[in-house]
Amino acid sequence: HIPTASIAKMITAYVTFNALRDKKVAVDQKDKVSPATWTKWNNMGSTMFLHSNESVSIDNLLFGVLTLSGNDASVVLAEGVHGNEAAFVAEMNIAAKKLGMTNTRFGNPNGWPDGGKTYSTARDLATLAQAIILEHPKAFERYFSQESFRWANVTQANRNPLLGAIE
């Protein structure tokens, strides 16, 4: 078992892609950044630089999660897709189980250190990556390939060091 760190954001995306596919949410749905979420995640590690009470589309939140590795964007997305962070994390674990990720457990949507609650294995993470590519190829192409993303007048490069390195 290894801590997932920001790789946990892959299952956050997968759960969101499933919700989009199942029409539980829409890419243009706007979710509000709650003051509590802003207070907790403002400038905590990687960030999208969201503002309290700002409304942000799921589309932009996905870019914030997958291009910027935004911890704030991950939590706002979780709250918007499943109503609250705990319900979203429960769905993350259900999805992991359905995929056969038997050595994985998620404790939050962004991979922030949580005292060992979140862990996985390289094999399980490869299973997740394959599921994203095969089940959601258009979303994979759209959200995992951005070289940079601009939000709040800040342009940030993609945090994936392999992007563009392998052809």
Between CA 115 and CA 111 the distance in angstroms is 11
69 is catalytic: yes
User: Six-digit token pair at 51?
Assistant: 């503002």
pLDDT class of 167 with cuts at 50, 70, 90: low
Which tens digits make up the pLDDT trace of 16-40?
Answer: 999 999 999 999 999 999 999 999 9
CA gyration radius for the chain? 15
Find all residues with CB under 8 Å of 63, minimum gap 6, and list them.
Answer: 143, 146, 149, 151
| Whole-structure pTM value | 0.95
For 55, left (φ over 0), alpha (ψ -120 to 50), or beta?
beta
Q: Which of 6, 46, 74, 120 is catalytic?
A: 6
Annotated catalytic residue within 9, 46, 74, 120: 9
The Cα–Cα gap between 12 and 15 comes to: 5
| Amino acid making up residue 31 | D
Query: How do residues 131-163 score in pLDDT, each as one tens digit?
Result: 999 999 999 999 999 999 999 999 999 888 777
Question: How large a percentage of the chain has pLDDT more than 70?
Answer: 99
| Active-site annotation holds for 6 | yes
Q: One of 46, 69, 74, 120 is an active-site residue; which one? A: 69
